Structure 1
Amino acid sequence: MTTAAKPSADFRAKAFVPETRFGNWFLKTYTWRHHVLRVAIEDLLRLSHGAVPEAPVVLDAGCGHGQSLPLLARYFSPSRLIGFDCFAPALADAQGHARATGTSVELMPGDCSDIPMPDASCDIVFCHQTFHHLVYQEAALAEFYRVLRPGGLLCFAESTEAYIRSWVIRLLFRHPMHVQRSAEGYLAMIREAGFTFDAENVSYPYLWWSRARDFGLFERMGLRRRPAFGEREETLVNVVARKPLAWCAGVGESHTRQR
């Protein structure tokens, strides 16, 4: 297991690559909420195999404009829900979605590589389509590990390098290209951060919107065969990973810092 040094304040401005104007518009659409967020949350619940605790404390790491908040409230029934993001205009939009949850939601500004929460203070970290924007990915994972209670869950849903580097995504969105990873690369990094998971906790969704070459149109028209698993380069990866229950000094010290 390795740890990454936290970025200094001098480099904090480079820790996140903000979206384009088109990207910020798209993140507010029904397509994003229904075909991307909802589908990912339902898949993550399936991958958890019933391990989600009752009334959990849920941290939405990179909540953006807040469309995830009502969905997380509906599917997880949290006792406490925290929306966390570094982009102030998005958090302002998230206030309306927070009110729509019908429950108490805390909105918190900050960087995923430096989360202002105590050690072992939440049950679930939900990280959806956030990681490919982050430069200090190892530091962010170390923070997710730190704030989770022993036995807590990281619900991680991400686009891979194959998708982020496709021409249409490069045209419409902005990302730190030097840190993009394959599906297996993300899974290896999560394991290296100390999390555990099995094959039954991982999926590789092959959704229409993730096929940037033609968005699955040729398949729907019968002009192209849908490639089977193992024949294609995966564009999405979902995983529910667990912080081990045995969070003792030998493991926790490398992920914990004084506050």
Structure 2
Amino acid sequence: MWDQRTHTELFGVVPARISYALPADADGYRASGPYRNDTVSATPVRLATGETLTVDAVVSNNGGEVGPYNATLTVDGRVVSSAAGELSPESERTVRLSHTFERAGEYTVGVGEETVTVVVEEPAEPTVSAVSVDREQFQVGQRATVTATVGNDAAVPANGTVAFTRDDESVTQRAVTLAPGNTTELSASVELPTAGTVRLGAGAADPVAVTVVEPTATDSPATSDGSGPGFTAGLAVVAALLALLARRR
């Protein structure tokens, strides 16, 4: 087999031969937008509505002359992104082509003669797997710190809110966004206005029961530090008795 130089000497210069291809591995597909900025698998590509897919298309020139290229990204046969330029002989270049998917559905995305399937879904709902509380007993009027472990087991990002509850009644919410396979912890401060056994929860996870008690006399600020109205009144009585004794003397 002769080389390109020998072929040129015998038959003349080979013209530019431009070809286009999809990325060879998953690093060539990236999802970005309101939920994440990360590479994604291409078997198939799974996105949430509102995300942008960026494809590292490969442009090759297998000819013997510099040639122009016009790489295009198609969605169901419609051109949605393009990149043009010139390419030296016997070389290749990576160009980035992007498209934002606003609607759910299944699409065929192509570069040149190659295609890949893209499945677009609405964002998943975040799920709460466990709930914990900072302690087991409180006094009336105190606040408990409730912590929820939140995850996303779906193949697309999760986006939503987690409701924190007191005796199955929602008292506050926290917004959360999670990439596929990720977990996080959310916390909320929940007031405890009445005595008794109170169930504190978040999402659909099992709630945690805590005990709320009325403050005892020793818990009162008026008696805990030797000050307050009772203490002041006692001092006044003692002072009056001392004055009366002094006059009698």
Q: TM-score scaled by structure 1?
A: 0.19
Larger Rg: 2
Kindly indicate whether structure 1 or structure 2 has the higher relative contact order, using CA contacts under 8 Å at least 6 residues apart: 1
The answer to which structure has the higher strand fraction is 2
Q: TM-score scaled by structure 2?
A: 0.20
The answer to which structure has the higher helix fraction is 1
